[in-house]
Amino acid sequence: MRFDRSMHRAAAVAALGMFLVAPPLAFAQEGGAPAGPEPATLDELLEMVQEGFQAESKENQEREARFLAAKDDQQRLLDEVLAVLAAEEQRSQRLENTYNENEPIIGTLQEQLAERLGQMGELFGVVRQVSNDLAGQAWESLTAAQLGPRKGLLDRLGRSKELPTTEDLEALWYELQRELVAQGKIERFTATVVTTDGGEAEREVIRAGPFTAISNGGYLLWDPEDQKLNELHRQPPSIYLDTVEPFETASGGFAKLAVDPSRGALLNALLDTPSVAERINQGGMVGRVIMGLGITAFLIGVWRWFKISAASRKVNAQLKTSQPNDNNPLGRILAISNSDEITDSEVLELRLDEAVLKETSELERYLWLVKTVSAVAPLLGLLGTVTGMIQTFQAITLFGAGDPKMMAGGISEALVTTMLGLIAAIPLVLLYDTLSNAASRIVDILDHQSAGLIAARAEGIDVGD
């Protein structure tokens, strides 16, 4: 009995080991779950293991059969591919032999062709060169807006390796002649113009040779890529724009018109040139402060110039009469000297000194502001230069020095503020010196007349005489 139990225990352990290895394959093939009920005894477990072995053995035999059948098919496919490869190798050898046989024949024919052409070969080379040159010129030329595209014919002649026909030579001659004639004419025609808002409109255009196109009182620019005339987003300065309308309305004779001999380059440069307002805006906040102070000081200086000029004229008129007039500084001083209340020369001197100081203060009123701004404006320009260079170095730090456009803002501010500071300072310095000199002349007259009045009073001479 003990032996039988040991045998049963060993058989159970072996069956359990086989169950842990083989059944999972069966379970995996069937979705991971057993097909039947779980075994209740070891005999049932052993039976299930044997059935699993039999099923796996059958499946392996089927798999081996399929592999052998596929192996036969693969051999057949390999034989077919090898046969095709051998045929193509034979065809390649035949083509190579044909090429080798034709190569000397082609060389001989080319030599015969060159010999028969003689100088005609150079002529056809010239035709190709002229076609290429004319194609580029006709594509870029303003005359294409009227004559239309001609690049197809010219490109074909320029790239062709065959001998041009008589019709091709006549067409090339005709295009050359038509381009020459068109470039020497001023003509009106209707063309499609791309407006500033992106739309298109049919307009009457005046073309002055290959240089300038105008329409509706403004200049147009030729775009070779789109082969269309474009309306400018901003017209050039008035010195050039003022010639457009008289030229459009002229019916004969001669009329002035600004032309661009560079065929658009100079016009683009004029459009890229900033206006006065844009130039001032490039100076930033410092530039606007300089312009504000400069304009304010200049207006005050002009106002004071009118006041001092009027006072100077009235003083000169007062010098010609002995009757005091209180509408000018000299008349008010003479009125003080003629007062009957002042009998002592010392008192008169004090009163006259007081009056001269008062008139001097009135004449030199606000001149200090003109002088101060004339001195501060260059300093503000220097400040703008410093801030502009700081922006430039910041741009270099962030983006490097490879793109000059990234540094253009700081450099523009540095230069524009310096320019604005000098523009504000130079006229203010001249204006201040003019005003100061005019005021000094009036003060000198007042001092001279006051000294004369005091001397006359001290000598007992009647001033009215």
**23-32, 92-101, 225-234, 448-457: segment of lowest average pLDDT:** 23-32
Q: Reply yes or no on whether the pLDDT at 405 is more than 70.
A: no
Question: Which helix (DSSP H) or strand (DSSP E) does residue 172 occupy?
Answer: helix 166-183
Question: Which helix (DSSP H) or strand (DSSP E) does residue 207 occupy?
Answer: strand 200-208
- pLDDT (tens digit per residue) in 218-230: 888 888 888 888 8
In our burial notation (b when 16+ CB lie closer than 10 A, e otherwise), range 197-218 reads eeeeeebebbbbbbbbbbbeee
What amino acid occupies position 382?
Answer: L
Average pLDDT, the chain: 79
Q: Which of 51, 42, 52 is nearest to 15 (CA)?
A: 42
Q: How far does the chain reach from its first CA to its final CA, in angstroms?
A: 174
Task: Give the model's pLDDT for residue 18.
Answer: 43
Strand stretches in 209-347, DSSP E: 212-215, 218-223, 228-231
Distance CA 49, CA 53 (A): 6
Q: Are 221 and 268 in contact (CB under 8 A)?
A: yes
The distance between the two most distant Cα atoms of the chain, rounded to a whole number of Å, is 174
Helix, strand or coil, per DSSP, at residue 193: strand
Task: Give the model's pLDDT for residue 30.
Answer: 43
Q: How sure is the predictor about 33, in pLDDT bands with cuts at 50, 70 and 90?
A: very low
Between CA 30 and CA 41, with CA 35 as vertex, the angle to 5 degrees is 135
Q: Reply yes or no on whether the pLDDT at 7 is more than 50.
A: no
**58-67, 293-302, 340-349: segment of lowest average pLDDT:** 340-349
Task: Give the model's pLDDT for residue 315.
Answer: 87
Helix, strand or coil, per DSSP, at residue 205: strand
Q: Are 324 and 332 in contact (CB under 8 A)?
A: yes
Task: Give the model's pLDDT for residue 330.
Answer: 83
Q: In the numeric block, which tokens belong to residue 323?
A: 């009757």
Q: How sure is the predictor about 4, in pLDDT bands with cuts at 50, 70 and 90?
A: very low
**23-27, 152-156, 454-458: segment of lowest average pLDDT:** 23-27
Domain boundaries along the sequence of the chain: 2-86, 124-272, 282-458
Q: Are strands 218-223 and 186-194 parallel, antiparallel or unpaired?
A: unpaired
Tally of CA atoms within 13 A in the half-sphere of 421 that contains its CB: 22
Q: Which of 365, 376, 368, 366 is nearest to 293 (CA)?
A: 376
Q: In the numeric block, which tokens belong to residue 424?
A: 């504000």
Q: Reply yes or no on whether the pLDDT at 195 is more than 60.
A: yes
Torsion sign, CA atoms 447, 453, 456, 458: negative
- Long-range contacts of range 453-459, CB-CB < 8 Å, 24 or more positions apart? 453/333, 453/334, 453/337, 453/348, 453/352, 454/345, 454/348, 454/349, 454/352, 457/337, 457/345, 457/348, 458/345
Task: Give the model's pLDDT for residue 23.
Answer: 42
Task: Give the model's pLDDT for residue 448.
Answer: 87
Q: Reply yes or no on whether the pLDDT at 120 is more than 80.
A: no
The dihedral over CA atoms of 14, 20, 22, 27, expressed in degrees to the nearest 10, equals: 150
Q: How sure is the predictor about 267, in pLDDT bands with cuts at 50, 70 and 90?
A: confident
Burial of 52 (0-12, 13-18, 19+ CB in 10 A): buried
Task: Give the model's pLDDT for residue 424.
Answer: 92
Q: Reply yes or no on whether the pLDDT at 404 is more than 80.
A: no
Task: Give the model's pLDDT for residue 301.
Answer: 93
Q: How much is the average pLDDT of 131-135?
A: 82
Task: Give the model's pLDDT for residue 21.
Answer: 41
Q: Reply yes or no on whether the pLDDT at 464 is more than 80.
A: no
Q: Which of 147, 151, 118 is nearest to 134 (CA)?
A: 151
Q: How sure is the predictor about 185, in pLDDT bands with cuts at 50, 70 and 90?
A: confident
CA distances from 139 to 36, 182, 260 (A): 87, 14, 18
Burial of 246 (0-12, 13-18, 19+ CB in 10 A): exposed
Q: Are 388 and 283 in contact (CB under 8 A)?
A: no
Match 């005019």 to its residue by tokens. Answer: 438
Q: Reply yes or no on whether the pLDDT at 186 is more than 80.
A: yes
Distance CA 444, CA 434 (A): 15
